[in-house]
Amino acid sequence: MADGEQARHASERGSVTTAPSRGSPRGGWRPLPLRSGDVQLYRLCDALTELLIYGMVVFSPWAFGTTEPWSVWTMNGAGCLLGVLLAIKLAIRWLKGYRPPRWDDPPAPAGQDSQPRNRGAAALTAALAGLTVAILAYCFLAALNARSTYHPHQIRFEYHDYVPWLPHSFDRVRTWHTFFTLLGLAGSFWAVRDWLLGKTGAEERAQRRPPPSETAKLDFAPFFPARLRRLLWVLAINGGLLGLEGIVQRLEGSGHLLFLVKPRVNPGAETQFGPYAYRANAAQYFNLLWPVCLGFWWTLHRSGGFRRARHHLLLLCGVVMAACPIISTSRGGALVTAGLVLAAAFFLLLTHFVLVAARKQDRRTRWLTLAAVILFFGSALAVGYWLGWKPLKPRLDQISEGFVLREEMYDVARPMMRDYPWFGIGPGAFEYVFQLYRISTSTYWPAQLHNDWLETRITYGLVGTTLILSALALVLLRWFFRGGIHGGRRFVILMWLALAGCLVHARFDFPFQVHSILFLFILLCAILVNLSRRP
C-alpha cells in the first residue's frame, strides 16, 4: 500500500489529522506529503520525551542535587536532547501538516476545521519564545564577546579585545558553561510545555465518543489530562521518597550523603540533608514542591472525593516534604515553610467555606475535606517539631547574626553592580571577579553571594535581568488568558505560592545556583504556561 494511502486510512481511524490548506490562501504554500512513517516518528519522539522527562525529574535531586559537573552536564545533555525531539515534532507538524489532537485546539463543529487559537494566548507564547531566544542570545554574545578569561591555576585574568556596547563577560569559560546550562533548561521548558498539551490515545478515543451526561462528567471526569497527572505523580512520589531518605539519613548521623559519600564541604550531618551537602538547598527544593503536591491532591479530591483512596497518598508525601525544611534545621527553610503553611492554610480554608455556597456539595464530604486539610498542616508541623525543633531553636536565636554577616558580604558586592550597570560582569563570572572587590585578603570570598537577586543583577546587568523577569512575568500571567488546560484557582495559586517561596529564599540564599532546584522551578513554569482559568 502506498504511504499516502496508509496515512489516509490512519486518518479515517482518527489517529492522524492533517491541515490540507493551512497557509494556502496567503502564500500558496502546501504541506509536504504526510507519510505513515512520519506519524510513527512523531509518536516515537513523544514517547521518548515522556521517558526523558521522568528520568530527569528523578535523577536531578538524587544525583547529589545536581551540584557536581558530571551531573550538571548530564542534565544539560538531556535537556538539549529534549529540544532536538521537540524540533523533530515541530518539523512534522509544520512541514507535513500533521495535527495530532491537543488540549490547546479549540472545539469545532463536527466536520469542520478547528478555529484559530486564542490570539491572546498565542501572542503571549510567542513573546515568551522571543524572550527565551533573547536570553540565550544575550548569554551567547557575552561568552563570544568576552573581555577576559580567568585561569584559576595561575590566579590571573587573560584579557581580550571586545565590543563594549555588546554583552560581555569577565570569564569566558564560566559564561560558556552558563550558556549550555540555559540551553538545556530552555529545551526542557519548551519540550515539557509541548508534551503536556498532547492527548493520550485514550483521550483521543474519548474525544470521538458522544459527550457524557452532566452527571457522568461530575462522577468520573478527571480535572487534569493524563500526562499532567502522571508528571505530578512522579514529582510527588519522588519528593516523598527523597524526604524519607533525608530524615533517615539525619537520624543515622554519619554525615554521608545518601549513605555513600562524605562531602569535602559541610561534612557534618547537621549541615547537610538527604543528597544535598547544604541543608538550605534541600529545604528550598522541598518548599518548592510540597505546595504543588497539596494542590494536586485538592484537584484529584474534587474529582474522586473519598470514594477513591489512592490520591490520599499525595497527602502523606506532602506531609513528609513539608516537615523536611524544619527537620533539616535550615533557618530560612523553616521560616519560609511557616509562611507557606500559614498562607496556604488561610487560602484553602477560606475558599473552602466561601466558594462552597456557590455549588452543591454534600455536608459530610465538605467537613471530611476540611479535616483532611487540617490534619495535613498539623501533621507536617508536628513531625517537623518532633524531629527538628530541638537543634533548630538555638540557630533561630542567632539568626540576626547571620543576617549581619550576609549584609556585610552584600555591601562588598554592590560596587560590582554600580561599576557594570547595563551588561554586568557576565553570566557565571561572579566567583572570580568578586576577589577584586575584597577589602583585604581576610575578607570572606564566597562562590555564591547568598542573594540570587543581587547576584543576577551583578552578572546579567540591568538588560539581562529585565529579560529574565519579563519571562517570569509572562509565565505568571498565562493563567488569565483563554486556551490550554483548565487549571483550578486553588492549584494555580498554590503553585504561585511555591514559586514565591523560592523567590524569597533567593533573597538570602542561592537556590537558582543549584541545578536541581532551578530545573524544578523551570518545570513548574512549563506546567503553568499550559494552564488557564478559561480553557
Look up residue 418 and give its three cell numbers: 554600580
Contact 307, 254 (CB under 8 A): no
pLDDT at 335: 96
pLDDT at 9: 44
Contact 458, 417 (CB under 8 A): yes
Per-residue pLDDT of 143-194, as tens digits, reads 999 999 999 999 899 999 999 999 999 999 999 999 999 999 999 999 999 9
pLDDT at 361: 53
Using CA atoms, how far apart are residues 90 and 93, in angstroms rounded to an integer? 5
Per-residue pLDDT of 271-287, as tens digits, reads 999 999 999 999 999 99
User: Which residues in the chain land under pLDDT 70?
Assistant: 1-29, 106-117, 210-222, 304-308, 353-364, 535
Using CA atoms, how far apart are residues 418 and 318, in angstroms rounded to an integer? 43
- Would you list the domain boundaries of the chain? 222-397+481-532
Using CA atoms, how far apart are residues 90 and 102, in angstroms rounded to an integer? 13
pLDDT at 207: 72
pLDDT at 391: 94
**What are the Cα distances from residue 440, in Å, to 156, 419, 434, 437, 505?**
17, 19, 12, 9, 29
Look up residue 47 and give its three cell numbers: 514517547
SS (H, E, C) 301-316: HHHHHHHCCHHHHHHH
pLDDT at 113: 46
Look up residue 485 and give its three cell numbers: 488546560
pTM of the model: 0.91
Using CA atoms, how far apart are residues 175 and 397, in angstroms rounded to an integer? 39
